[in-house]
């Protein structure tokens, strides 16, 4: 197989794995922003919390990697409800600026707490044997972990798509994103709906945080460092759109990986350039409502 084809396949494979991580972590942010218009800069902190819970469970309690991921998602999802009910709720009608300040304050507190508990050095996580090693496809060996990430991503996307498009509650969420007041006036309890999606989104973010440890390592700065990427995925995809978030995650994931393969010195330049171009042409993102 010619050299450029191998590189192209590698970029696609790694980019796809990266895109799955971006999608899993960002999708909750997109739906909650679409529902309430709430700018939640603490979303990265929920992802980081999930990551550290996975680290603690696997390293200190000896629980397996996969069950740890599930526990982290459930715990963070449940705790996020407290934040939503206690803090966020007060600011739904406030300005963007106030929401930005509150949530960035929470993110700072989360980073400080994580530094205090786990130290500033990046943590890793022990993988079970079935996720270690490579899968060989003849011309190139692919890391098993990334293949697992892709499969898991596809499964989650299917489940979310089904829940969003085919179930009653999914229809209610879509209705509330489209027109909140109308949805309320036909008797949909948007408040409750929002709490549910917020918990689900935070749980998924925690799952993403746990999955990210093997890819990037986990340090307290994760909460802000990758937050920018999640926000970009949400803004480029369009608020509250599953399809848009997926498309944006794929575009950003593949382009960022490609840029790092082919022109590493440019760093993140390409994704920011893409973001600016997309938003200048379509201010509401790919599938957002203008």
Partner 1 sequence: MAANETTAAAMTSPRDSEAIAARDRAAEYLVSRHRYRWAEALPWLACIAVFFLFPDRLTFGSQVLVMVLFALSLDLILGYAGIVTLGHAAFFGIGAYTVGLGAAKFGWTEPVSGLFAAFVVASIAGFITGWFLLRYRGLTLLMLTLATAIMMQEAGNLRSDLSGGYDGLPGLVFDPLLGRFDYDLYGHTNYVYALVVLAVVFYFVRRIVYSPFGQALTGIRENVRRMHAIGSPVHWRLVTVYTIAAGIAGIAGALFTQTNAYVTLTVFDFENSAKVMVMLILGGTGRLYGAFLGAAVYMVLEDYFSKLSPTFWQFGIGLLLVLAVLFARRGVLGLFEQAGAYFGKDKNLDKNLDKNKGTKP
Give the interface with partner 1 as residue ranges (CB under 8 A).
Answer: 33, 37, 39, 87, 90-91, 94-98, 100-102, 104-113, 115-116, 224, 228, 231-232, 234-235, 239, 265-269, 272-273, 275-276, 279-280, 283-284
Contact 44, 202 (CB under 8 A): no
For residue 197, how far is the Cα from the chain centroid? 14
Give least dist CB 45 to partner 1, A. Answer: 10
Q: Which of 115/195 has CB closer to partner 1?
A: 115
Contact 210, 101 (CB under 8 A): no
Q: Which of 56/115 has CB closer to partner 1?
A: 115
Q: Which of 100/159 has CB closer to partner 1?
A: 100
The structure tokens listed for 39 are 């700018």
Instruction: Compute the 3-state secondary structure of the chain and give helix, strand, coil in percent, each to the nearest 5.
Output: 75, 5, 20
Give least dist CB 111 to partner 1, A. Answer: 6
Give least dist CB 270 to partner 1, A. Answer: 9
Q: Which of 155/266 has CB closer to partner 1?
A: 266
Give least dist CB 80 to partner 1, A. Answer: 16
Give least dist CB 208 to partner 1, A. Answer: 20
Q: Which of 59/282 has CB closer to partner 1?
A: 282
Give least dist CB 228 to partner 1, A. Answer: 7
The torsion angles phi and psi of 218, rounded to 5 degrees, stand at: -125, 115
Beta strands in the chain (DSSP E): 134-136, 141-143
Q: How would you label 256-285 residue by residue, b for 16+ Cβ within 10 Å and e otherwise? A: bbbbbeeeeeeeeebbeebbeebeeeeeeb
Secondary structure (3-state) at 100: helix
The residues pairing with 123 across neighbouring beta strands, listed in sequence order, are 218
Q: Which of 86/187 has CB closer to partner 1?
A: 86
């Amino acid at each position: 197989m010619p050299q450029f084809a191998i590189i192209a396949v590698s970029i696609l494979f790694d980019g796809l794995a990266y895109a799955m991580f971006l999608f899993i972590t960002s999708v909750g942010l997109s739906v909650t922003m679409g529902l309430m218009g709430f700018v939640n800069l603490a979303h990265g902190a929920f992802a980081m919390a999930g990551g550290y819970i996975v680290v603690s469970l696997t390293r200190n309690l000896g629980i397996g990697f996969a069950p740890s991921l599930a526990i982290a998602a459930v715990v963070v999802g449940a705790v996020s409800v407290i934040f939503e009910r206690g803090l966020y709720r007060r600011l739904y009608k406030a300005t963007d600026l106030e929401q930005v300040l509150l949530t960035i304050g929470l993110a700072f507190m989360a980073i400080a707490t994580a530094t205090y508990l786990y130290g500033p050095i990046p943590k890793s996580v022990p993988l079970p044997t079935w996720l270690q090693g490579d899968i060989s496809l003849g011309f190139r060996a692919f890391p098993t972990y990334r293949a697992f990430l892709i499969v898991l991503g596809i499964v989650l996307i299917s489940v979310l798509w089904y829940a969003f498009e085919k179930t009653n509650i999914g229809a209610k969420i879509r209705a509330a994103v489209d027109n909140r007041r109308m949805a309320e006036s036909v008797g949909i309890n948007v408040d409750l709906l929002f709490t549910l999606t917020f918990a689900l989104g935070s749980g998924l973010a925690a799952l993403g945080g746990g999955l990210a440890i093997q890819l990037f390592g986990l340090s307290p700065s994760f909460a802000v460092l990758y937050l920018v990427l999640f926000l970009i995925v949400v803004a480029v995809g369009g608020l509250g759109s599953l399809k848009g978030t997926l498309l944006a995650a794929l575009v950003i994931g593949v382009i960022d990986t490609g840029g790092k393969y082919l022109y590493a010195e440019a760093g993140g330049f390409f994704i920011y350039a893409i973001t600016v171009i997309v938003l200048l042409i379509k201010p509401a993102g790919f599938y957002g409502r203008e």
